[in-house]
Amino acid sequence: MNYWLFKTEPGCFSIDDLKSRPDMTEHWDGVRNFQARNFLRDTVKPGDLVLFYHSNIAEPAVVGIAEVVREGYPDFTAFDPQAEHFDPKSSVEKPIWYMVDVQYVKELKRPVTLERIKSNPLLSEMPLVRRSRLSIQPVTAEQWQIIMAMGGEER
């Protein structure tokens, strides 16, 4: 079982959107970065837990937890010329982009802001701190525990 951090702009898709449909799976689509794609296609598996991170806002933060419920499969939004992330180079026969499905687990009692993450020396190795642009990032078990504690969650 692995841990991850998935970024999303809340104006596009937020924890409230996920929470409002707790019994439904949501497609994590639109990822158009090869390194992130490789994680989604090859490494992210059902049962993995995800830090749900709100980016590109005044106070970026980990705000909740999601669970992966379907492993990587072709991102069909890349095939749709009307879709925002349409990619003419990707096809049903030879898909380039992949997505997984996730389900709501919980909101953190207290959001863990990027500011708090950056100020914790134990989290200095997180890609979020080191290379902030990657939208799908692995998280170690230790980092997960620390962020849970910072978020006010029980062990």
Residues that bind DNA (CB under 7 A): 7, 9, 32-35, 55-58, 60, 114-115, 118, 128, 131-135
Q: How far is the CB of 155 from DNA (least distance, A)?
A: 27
Question: Would you say 102 and 69 are in contact if contact means Cβ atoms under 8 Å apart?
Answer: yes
Q: How far is the CB of 117 from DNA (least distance, A)?
A: 10
Q: Which of 134, 74, 79, 77 is nearest to 100 (CA)?
A: 74
**3-class state of residue 147 by DSSP:** helix
Which residue, 10 or 104, is less far from DNA as judged by CB? 10
Alpha helices in 6-126 (DSSP H): 15-19, 34-38, 114-119
Which residue, 46 or 127, is less far from DNA as judged by CB? 127
Q: How far is the CB of 61 from DNA (least distance, A)?
A: 9
Which residue, 20 or 119, is less far from DNA as judged by CB? 119
Question: Would you say 112 and 128 are in contact if contact means Cβ atoms under 8 Å apart?
Answer: no
